[in-house]
Structure 1
Amino acid sequence: MRSSPPPRRLVIGISGASGAQIGVRLLEACRALDIETHLVISKAGEITLTQETRHSVAEVKALASHIYKAGDIGAAIASGSFATMGMIVAPCSVRSMSEIATGVTSSLLTRAADVCLKERRRLILAVRETPFHTGHLRTMTQLSEMGAIIAPPIPAFYTRPQTVAEMVDQFTGHLLALMGFDNSLAREWTGLRDG
């Protein structure tokens, strides 16, 4: 049994849901915090990246410490023996969420997430869909009961964001904080102001 804490190693998944900028910002923030990142992008995620951001897929991959192809089921992150602090899937599509919930995984992204669940590591899913129907909600409940954290990318309006970038930073900082990484991206609530 491992007695020392796991290395500052984080798996990041980018699926095909809208919100690709969150995954990009997460990689940038991890690099600045000296967190080793292991990136897997689904095929749909690659399409969304080029549609929603100014980044090429190659530019985004260059932000990661290690990259894997979505079909590489023999990758290090597909095994529980490869120690990580956990995984963040941002954004997380309903399809990816559903595969993770059932354990019937068809890609490295969903397999790596399944590994986090079976090894009792932190798994954060930034599920990007709205509105949710009852099936989505039941799947999220099932994942929460299995140990995952469901964190839809909902803006924190108390920060009075002026740009989309500010909203992305706030949410990215929150994801990192949920994973246990101190960061300065998210502004914390300090209470009501008088007047």
Structure 2
Amino acid sequence: MPETHQEKETRNKRMIVAITGASGVCYGVKALELLNKAGIETHLVMSKAAERTLHEESDISPADVKAMAHTLYPTKDIGAAIASGSFLTEGMIVAPCSVKTMGEIATGITSSLVSRAADVVLKERRRLVLMVRETPLHTGHLRTMTKLSEMGAIIAPPVPAFYSKPKSLEEMVTFTTARVLDLFDIHMDINRWS
């Protein structure tokens, strides 16, 4: 069967997905699911704290999440492909993004592969989207977000949209994650504003 236009367009596209320990690991899992559906090659790094949060918030095992990715990297592997600017990607989604990770990225002090890969994405002027999952926010958080925005990152807290009239939490998570993928020109079939 010949390739469709979308298959040709997405072939060889790579996306880095990082899942950190903030509440909301469902967003990272959904990102992997939707990217796979779109035919995008996924490169996953998942922190130990994310594995703990996954256990607390979900019935999915870390092994099941890791199996969803095309390539998996340990958080301490600073020599991984995604730690190099010569490894071409469309960019990176950190879903959810903890305040700790956000702070590391903002300062350039990269103590893990998550923050190192994000630093590389920024220096290469690729798209970096941080689904920062914290509330309420103090002035330090807001200043860090401003700094990251000035550096080129997109701050996209997972705020639900109710105009899509979600009937379940699953629909809400899918809609929010699909809207983040829009930022990479990866468009999923969702109930959009008409």
Normalised TM-score (structure 2) = 0.93
The range that moved more, 174-183 or 110-119, is: 174-183
* Matches of 2:191 and 2:113, distance apart in 1: 33
Partner SS for 1:158 = coil
* Matches of 2:178 and 2:143, distance apart in 1: 27
Unaligned 5+ segments in structure 2 are 1-9
Q: 1:153 corresponds to which letter in structure 2?
A: P
CA contact (8 A) 2:129 2:156 kept: yes
Q: 1:33 corresponds to which letter in structure 2?
A: A
Partner SS for 2:35 = helix
CA contact (8 A) 1:120 1:147 kept: yes
Unaligned 5+ segments in structure 1 are 191-195
Query: What residue is the counterpart of 2:154 in the other structure?
Result: 149
Query: What residue is the counterpart of 2:192 in the other structure?
Result: 188
Identical-pair percentage = 60
CA contact (8 A) 2:11 2:39 kept: no
Q: Are residue 30 (structure 1) and residue 28 (structure 2) matched?
A: no
Number of residue pairs matched?
185
Q: Are residue 96 (structure 1) and residue 101 (structure 2) matched?
A: yes
CA contact (8 A) 2:18 2:94 kept: yes
After the TM superposition, list the runs of 4 or more consecutive aligned residues in structure 1 that deviate by more than 2 angstroms. Answer: none
Q: Are residue 16 (structure 1) and residue 21 (structure 2) matched?
A: yes
* Matches of 1:54 and 1:31, distance apart in 2: 20
Partner SS for 2:157 = coil
Normalised TM-score (structure 1) = 0.92
Q: Are residue 42 (structure 1) and residue 42 (structure 2) matched?
A: no
Partner SS for 1:166 = helix
CA contact (8 A) 1:7 1:83 kept: no
Query: What residue is the counterpart of 2:61 in the other structure?
Result: 56
